[in-house]
A and B are shown apart, each in its own frame.
Chain A
Amino acid sequence: MATMVRLLQQTDKAIETVYNRKNDAEIERLQEYQAAVKIQSWFRGTRTRAYLRHLNNCATEVQRKWRGFLGRKFYRIFVKNQTLVMKLNHYNAMATKIQKTWRGYYVRKYVYNYYSRKRYLEALQIKNEIIRSELEEYAEQQEQRRRRQQMMEEKKKQEYEARKNHYLISTHVIPGIFSSPFQPYPSEYEYILRSVKPLQHKKKNMNGNRYDPAWQSYESPRPRQLPPLPQKPQGPFRDPEEVQKQRYKPFQPTLRVATSINALDEARQKMKDEEWVTRLNDNIFEPFTKKYYPYEPLLHATSKFGHLPYGTKYYREESIDKHVTHKPFRTLVPPIPIFDKLNDTYSQGQV
């Protein structure tokens, strides 16, 4: 009991302690609560953030992988294109180089070949010299010819003068004015006078008043009398115009006369000739393995029907009913044209 009592004695103390504790707890309680909330919030926050970070990391990973994939894909395409372009540029550059070289070579060799051009110009100069000298020569010749002509003309003129003045020649007895007795020799003109004959007197035109205003080349036919009047011949004649027309009527051959006698043959020959021209080979083509040709007997000799008796036994056609046509064939040679006219009742006035 003692214990009980002791315990009871201590009850107040215990209560007080409990009370104090409770008070203390009550005082700390909010703080603790808040601390707990903070801790919890921190923890939850951390956890959520970690989770989110995890998600983000995952997304980044996915994106990274995907973008890497795409990037590599596009990069490959890009590199491919780039290579292509590079190659193309390179090839173009190379082609340009080749073309450049070739064109330069070609132009220098064939179009503007410096040496050939130089040669050409030199040759041209030589040619020019030749032409110049030739022309010079030609001009010289022309000049000479002209001078000669002029001289001849002058001489002729002089001669004519001398002939006109021939009466001034000196005679045996009386010296002329051109041979002065006071000089040792007669003058030049005197010799010329001696060398020519005197001019003859012109024959008078006995025709009277022949008049020729412009055309000196002809003498106009002067009618002695008035020209006769044109008249129609008397009598029962046809009009002269009509007669003339009939007389000079152009020749009108018949078609048969106009065509050649062997026109058919000619046409045939022409056709054959044309065929011959267009044929490629005259020899009939035979395969070279065929060496021997079978003997082909004449159709005429081997006919099982025998010879045609026409011309030996008979001369007229026996089996008329077998003919293709009953009309006679056209003759090859046309008949004599005069026979054509036999049936005409009148002459057509042809000569």
Chain B
Amino acid sequence: MSQRQVLQVFEQYQKARTQFVQTVAELSSRPQNIETLQNAGVMSLLRPLLLDIVPTIQQTAALALGRLANYNDDLAEAVVKGDILPQLVYSLAEQNRFYKKAAAFVLRAVAKHSPQLAQSVVDCGALDALVICLEEFDPGVKEAAAWALGYIARHNAELAQAVVDAGAVPLLVLCIQEPELSLKRIAASALSDICKHSPELAQTVVDAGAIAHLAQMILNPDAKLKRQVFSALSQISKHSVDLAEMVVEAEIFPAVLTCLKDFDEYVKKNVATLIREIAKHTPELSQLIVNAGGVAAVIDYIGESKGNVRLPGIMMLGYVAAHSENLAMAVIVSKGVVQLAIALSEEPEDHIQAAAAWALGQIGRHTPEHAKAVAVANVLPKLLQCYLRADASEDLQTKSKKALKNILQKCVHLPALEPLLHDAPPNVLKHVVGQFSKVLPHDSKARRVFVTSGGLKKIQEIKAEPGSALAEYINTINNCYPEEIVKYYSPGYSDALLERVDQYLPKA
């Protein structure tokens, strides 16, 4: 036996291993094969190959494992139970960049399924190794590591805190500054996942100087990057006034409004979410947005988009209007009520209707002028319809009722209230009649119109329990008119007249 022949045996073995691993990796990329692979015991076969002496085989084995774990949480759990993670973590620090990438892929695939799996990834010390990978020169490795960290952090606050404690945040912030788009995207997404849980985590991210770099990327032409950037900024600013102010101080303001015209739906949605998260904190921040023309832009955006995309915009209008009557007036003069009314009537989904109803209620609750602006947009019947619809969700019902009540209590624009007299249920009717009883004693023209339009007749037909607020209101209204008129319009008056005719004896 020559040396060559001896070596040939090894070479054959190596080739066979390579081929096996490659085939498995290829097979595992198709979902229909996975069950068969699992039943054939692929896990236990791949595990020793992770420790193979040839780097290519290691990488491909890791890749196959990653694909399997990516498929469902059972397989991911099998990876955890097979004690594969410690090996991966160990080699994550040791091996070359291709292997690191594959190993980070496996970790990501395992961590993505559930908090428990992510916790098990953390428990085997993956965070430190992943953080070290973030310092790697190769952007692909950084990307894979950032991705895995993001998937770990997205589950809950403890996991995110663990990621932060591992020192990932400054490195992720560095990753944002890299030239590669995909790396930027994933780093921004990871930051967003970290800071969505609590103000402290968001503060950590802010302290690492993330806001300035995120704000720079607002005008980036890449839509997917913009999605992540806006998501991260909104997750930062949602927690507290201070954080929101810091985001605003990055001078994002006129620039983000252009992104409301983006082609990408998610960019639009995330921008609107960001504006909403900033506006909801204080009147000053809302005022700043209004002064920058943000309300007009958001209203245009509500008009242009459909469905769930317009939801954050609708809520943003509600938040702005809720702060003060001045801001509500700003929403009204920016023609926000019309768009909200359209959204209320167009949208088939209950939760969007509920948001629109809530926003309208916030706009109309300040002064009679506001209520009038809302009422003339013909919103009240729609709100009533939402409230009375049989298949409406409970949330929609309560929101539309609250909105109706808020608007009605301020509304003195009687023509808009008239239709409600005819088809409102008693608990809404109470407010409507109350408004009439407040206005009619002081306005003679309105009294006249009220009679001619049949309102008085309708009022007489209402059956109110004596002593209730409704009865009191009706009484107040009746006191504004001469007794004959009230009698004339009360039901049964003709019978009473006829009775009198019967009883009348002509004088001889």
Q: Which residues of A contact B (CB under 8 A)?
A: 117, 120-121, 124-125, 127-132, 134-135, 138-139, 142, 146, 211, 213-215, 217-218, 220-223, 225-227
Contact = CB atoms under 8 A, between A and B. Distances in A.
Interface string B250-288: 000000011011110000000000000000000000000
Interface string B289-323: 01111011100100000000000000000000000
A221 B292 CA distance: 57
Given A131-B257, A220-B59, 14 more contacts: A121-B330, A125-B333, A128-B333, A132-B293, A134-B258, A135-B257, A135-B258, A135-B260, A142-B262, A214-B63, A215-B98, A220-B98, A225-B7, A226-B7
B367 to A, nearest CB: 11
Say what secondary structure dominates the interface of chain B. Answer: helix
Contacts of A215: 98, 101, 140
B148 to A, nearest CB: 16
B329 interface: yes
Interface stretch (B49-57, B78-86, B408-416): B49-57
Nearest to A129: B296
Contacts of A135: 257-258, 260-261, 297, 300
Contacts of B26: 213
Contacts of B330: 121, 124
Contacts of A220: 55-56, 59, 98
A262 to B, nearest CB: 36
B333 A124 contact: yes
B7 A138 contact: no
Closest 3 CB pairs of A and B: A131-B293, A128-B296, A139-B261
A205 to B, nearest CB: 16
Given A124-B290, A128-B296, A214-B63, A222 B56 contact: yes
A138 B261 contact: yes
Interface string B171-203: 000000000000000000000000000000000
Given A135-B297, A214-B63, A128 B334 contact: yes
A218 B98 contact: yes
Contacts, number: 75
Interface residues of B, number: 37
A142 B260 CA distance: 12
Contacts of B297: 131-132, 135
6 contacts: A117-B329, A124-B290, A135-B257, A142-B261, A213-B26, A226-B7
Interface of B: 7, 10-11, 14, 18, 22, 25-26, 53-56, 59-60, 63, 98, 101, 140, 257-258, 260-263, 290-293, 295-297, 300, 326, 329-330, 333-334
A218 B255 CA distance: 39
Nearest to A226: B10
Contacts of B18: 211
Contacts of A213: 22, 25-26, 60, 63
Contacts of A227: 53-54
Contacts of A226: 7, 10-11, 14, 53
Nearest to A215: B98
A130 B293 contact: yes
B372 to A, nearest CB: 15
Contact of B329 (A121, A127, A211): A121
A284 to B, nearest CB: 48
Contacts of B300: 132, 135
A138 B293 contact: no
A226 B297 CA distance: 66
Nearest to B326: A117
A226 B53 CA distance: 9
A227 B290 CA distance: 68
Contacts of A130: 293
Given A218-B98, A220-B98, A226-B7, A127 B263 contact: no
A213 B22 CA distance: 7
Contact of B334 (A125, A146, A225): A125
A163 B387 CA distance: 64
A128 B293 contact: yes
Given A222-B56, A227-B53, A121 B333 contact: yes
A135 B257 CA distance: 8
A134 B296 CA distance: 11
Contact of A142 (B10, B60, B98, B263): B263
A164 B130 CA distance: 47
A264 to B, nearest CB: 38
Contacts of B10: 226
Interface centre among B258, B260, B326 (most CB of A within 10 A): B258
Interface centre among A211, A223, A227 (most CB of B within 10 A): A211
